[in-house]
Amino acid sequence: PRRMSRKILVLPGDGIGPEITREAVKVLEACQERGLDVTVDEALVGGAAYDAHGEPLPETTLAKAKASDAILLGAVGGPKWDKIEDLAKRPEKGLLGLRKHLGLFGNLRPAILYPQLAEASSLKPEVVSGLDIMIVRELTGGIYFGQPRGIEERNGQRVGFNTYIYSEAEIERIGRVAFEMARKRNKKLCSVDKANVLEVTILWREIMERLAPEYPDVELSHMYVDNAAMQLVRAPKQFDVIVTGNMFGDILSDAAAMLTGSIGMLPSASLNESGQGMYEPCHGSAPDIAGQNLANPLATILSVAMMLRYSLDEPELAERIEGAVGKVLDDGLRTADIAYPGTRRVSTSEMGDAVLAAFRHV
């Protein structure tokens, strides 16, 4: 029987979301020209969905998301919706709802410094040039979700509390994602914890050690999170893959992203146990430049490359997209966020078109 074509759902979202996903979809269509057998559908999420249906994650969107093999998301949120009093209706809840309902526990956040953009980093070129690290962050557990939590009165004063909890199974499944990732890359995995202070991470370290013999080709090391923050700034190229929990990963991945100095360049993936994934740029909806054809679409285009690699098993097409992005950077094309004197300023759509042309010719 003929294999069913795979389903991709595009969720443009808010702010610059529609502009950047439009460019990414052009590249996806170029992949279809090259034989990629997918159907592409679109739905509302975030503020756009709230405006149309009163919900940031309507049932129809969730149903389409569940039925898809991969999701491409722009970004959600913006000042227009900051006044919504019911927190459950805020645009961000659309994103959190998708992560939760789809069980997207494995967040992959590369920090890559393109050699053409070395000047964008705040660090010295010799410290960051050629940087290519991958942070694997657990996304559906840890202190962000642990119960009990709250603010309550105890002995005449209010206390705030959260629960930091990970089960063996949760640690093991994110550990496996990270070991597999290291295996495909430079075979070095650094597990980041706070095992000198927090019991949860003593267990975390133990489980990583237990997995290690199954991946004898991968060299496992451990680092305390405070030192990891220091090392990321001091000598980031010592890392290949970093694996850590939800909160440490949130902080370290933003720090690592900024080493590259270019928020408009960084894609991300969030995967579940069946390989289904949601792909999105690391940045937000950039309301300050929305609707002006100024945004950098490359993070979203590179998110399509991650989708092809991690959910659709099409590594050649992924490389072709990454090659096309390298080509337009080589040619000196720059959106405002990555421009500097001597380069050619282009709009969102011009950048998308240039990648498309390069994709067809590389």
User: Closer CB to ligand NAI, residue 52 or residue 169?
Assistant: 52
What single DSSP character describes residue 312?
Answer: S
Query: Which runs of E-coded beta strand occur in the chain?
Result: 6-13, 38-42, 70-75, 106-112, 132-138, 150-154, 157-161, 188-193, 219-224, 241-244, 267-271, 277-281, 333-334, 344-345
Picked from ligand NAI, Mg ion, none, the partner binding residue 288 (CB below 5 to 8 A depending on kind) is ligand NAI
Query: Which runs of E-coded beta strand occur in 76-121?
Result: 106-112
User: Closer CB to Mg ion, residue 253 or residue 311?
Assistant: 253
Whether the ω angle into residue 281 lies within 30 degrees of 0, i.e. cis, is: no
If DSSP codes are grouped into helix, strand and coil, which group holds residue 134?
A: strand
Active site residue 51: no
Shortest spacing between CB 270 and ligand NAI, in angstroms: 10
Tokens of 227: 């030192």
Say if residue 112 carries a ligand binding annotation.
Answer: no
Residues that bind ligand NAI (CB under 6 A): 16, 20, 75-78, 92, 95, 263-264, 280, 283-289, 295-296, 299, 337
Picked from ligand NAI, Mg ion, none, the partner binding residue 250 (CB below 5 to 8 A depending on kind) is Mg ion
Active site residue 194: yes
Active site residue 100: no
| Number of helices and strands in the chain (H, E) | 12, 14
Picked from ligand NAI, Mg ion, none, the partner binding residue 240 (CB below 5 to 8 A depending on kind) is none
Residue nearest to Mg ion (CB): 250
User: Closer CB to ligand NAI, residue 208 or residue 295?
Assistant: 295
Active site residue 226: yes
The DSSP code sequence of 234-268 is H-GGG-SEEEE-HHHHHHHHHHHHHHTT-GGG-EE
From the list 41, 82, 226, 313, the catalytic residue is 226
- Give the C-alpha separation, 301 to 307, whole Å: 10
Shortest spacing between CB 300 and Mg ion, in angstroms: 17
Angle value at C-alpha 97, between 321 and 90, nearest 5 degrees: 100
Say if residue 290 carries a ligand binding annotation.
Answer: yes
Say if residue 337 carries a ligand binding annotation.
Answer: no
**Cα→Cα distances 56→95, 98, 140, Å:** 8, 10, 19
From the list 64, 144, 188, 353, the catalytic residue is 144
Say if residue 252 carries a ligand binding annotation.
Answer: no
Residues that bind Mg ion (CB under 5 A): 250, 254
Say if residue 74 carries a ligand binding annotation.
Answer: no
How many CA atoms within 13 Å lie on the side-chain side of 54? Answer: 0
Shortest spacing between CB 40 and ligand NAI, in angstroms: 20
Q: Do 348 and 296 meet the contact criterion of CB atoms below 8 Å apart?
A: yes
**Cα→Cα distances 6→23, 50, 70, 316, Å:** 20, 28, 8, 17
User: Closer CB to ligand NAI, residue 30 or residue 295?
Assistant: 295
Active site residue 217: no
Q: Do 189 and 178 meet the contact criterion of CB atoms below 8 Å apart?
A: yes
Shortest spacing between CB 248 and Mg ion, in angstroms: 12
Shortest spacing between CB 133 and ligand NAI, in angstroms: 20
Shortest spacing between CB 128 and Mg ion, in angstroms: 21
Say if residue 284 carries a ligand binding annotation.
Answer: yes
Which parts are annotated binding residues for substrate? 99, 109, 137, 226
| Residues involved in catalysis | 144, 194, 226, 250, 254
Which parts are annotated binding residues? 99, 109, 137, 226, 250, 254, 284-296
Which parts are annotated binding residues for NAD(+)? 284-296
